[in-house]
Structure 1
Amino acid sequence: MGRSRLWSGGEDRRRAGLLLAAVGLCWIAGAARAADAPEGKPLLTIIGGIQHRNGPDGLSFDAAALQKLPQLSFSTRTPWYATPRKFTGVRLRDLLAAAGAQGQLVRAVALNDYKVDIPIEDAATSDVMVAWLLDDKPMPVRDKGPLVIIYPFDDQPELRTAVHYGRAVWQLRLLDVR
């Protein structure tokens, strides 16, 4: 009686390759759905060094398109709130992947034209998030919304610096990949 071997031999390597290809196709299909032209008011537009666009200005997302991407929630303290607050949204790296971003920096621009450059490495090494919910409720403009870039300050204390606090952009409207 022979032993069953998992993921060994030519046939099993072929199956593993097919499985990885299927997972990749599911991610591409999800990114394509997120890249459809927004039906609602665009909340965020990604421009610059991107491969995927859904309009002449770049890749725009309305609330529904953002919610099609993988969701993340975490609670963290910030200099702006006295107690930890729960943020929910999408990882910056997932947004950049959906756009097919190619660059080293992302210039984040707020509604009031505040601008800050964020190294793409931040998105790769941390769960930097573009959040639209604060304590499970949409964020109005008067409370830093509708979108905020937030870092997991409590999970990674090394991020509690003036530089990273400056990269936590309130009222985010645009990401320019450079």
Structure 2
Amino acid sequence: MPQPIASRARPSRPVLQAIAAIAFFLAGPATLRADEVLPEPAGAVLLTVSGVAARSAGEDVAKLDLAMLEALPVTRFRTSTIWTEGVSEFTGVALGDLLTYLGAEGTRIEAVALNDYKVTIPFSDAVKEGPIVAYRVDGALLKRREKGPLWVVYPYDANPDYQTEVIYSRSIWQLDRIVVGE
């Protein structure tokens, strides 16, 4: 006697999101086409980028958790800062790599901290040897009490042009939003 065919329940939205996030991390970010959207973050959202035309999760907004940021090309450098003692190693994603990956275009970046403090960073700062969106310092995740969870850090020691009040003012910590504008 034939066995009845079992019906399959449709996976819930959280399950589908988790599967998409796992596929994103296993395949790597380079596998997304420019017209594909990012999966929903599986973890806590650390960074929201708006004004993004490509790869946003809808309504020109991209939300990224730590795992999504860590899946992007990693940039590390050692530098001193005016806010910390000695030289530290900062790890994160280059601002230029992040914006390129998201398909962001514009002339300026408004970076906003958890306390709504805002700075404007020219899009022209998002270059190869420019700032990173750091999520680690000396190997440890940045904590809120230590300017985290994200901090825009320039390689101050590598370039004397980065040792100015203008650049220091762009080095926003506790970053949680970026708005890309014309």
When normalised by structure 2's length, the TM-score is: 0.78
1:33-81 deviation line (CA, Å, top 9, x unaligned) = 9922111111001101432212446001001100110001111111101
Superposition deviation, residue 160 in structure 1: 0.3
Superposition deviation, residue 30 in structure 1: 5.3
Amino acid at match of 1:151: Y
Partner Cα distance (1:102, 1:123) in 2: 11
Residue 158 of structure 2: aligned partner: 155
- Structure 2 stretches of 5 or more lacking a match? 1-27
Whether 2:31 is the aligned partner of 1:29: answer: yes
Q: Is contact 1:107–1:175 with CA below 8 Å preserved after alignment?
A: yes
Partner residue of 2:81 out of 78, 83, 93: 78
Partner residue of 1:170 out of 158, 168, 173: 173
SS at match of 2:96: helix
Partner Cα distance (2:30, 2:125) in 1: 23
- Structure 1 stretches of 5 or more lacking a match? 1-25
Amino acid at match of 2:50: I
Amino acid at match of 2:31: A
Residue 99 of structure 1: aligned partner: 102
Amino acid at match of 1:165: Y
1:105-147 deviation line (CA, Å, top 9, x unaligned) = 0000000111011001111263310000011001110110000
- Between Structure 1 and Structure 2, the one with more helix by share is 1
Residue 127 of structure 2: aligned partner: 124
Partner Cα distance (2:137, 2:168) in 1: 17
Partner Cα distance (2:106, 2:157) in 1: 28
SS at match of 2:69: helix
**RMSD (Å) for aligned C-alpha atoms:** 2.0
SS at match of 1:154: helix
Whether 2:70 is the aligned partner of 1:63: answer: no
SS at match of 1:112: coil
Partner Cα distance (2:37, 2:94) in 1: 14
Superposition deviation, residue 158 in structure 1: 1.2
Whether 2:139 is the aligned partner of 1:136: answer: yes
Q: Is contact 1:151–1:168 with CA below 8 Å preserved after alignment?
A: yes
**Using a 3 Å threshold, how does the CA distance of structure 1 residues 92 and 129 change in structure 2: closer, same or farther?**
same
Q: Is contact 1:34–1:61 with CA below 8 Å preserved after alignment?
A: no
When normalised by structure 1's length, the TM-score is: 0.80
SS at match of 1:174: strand
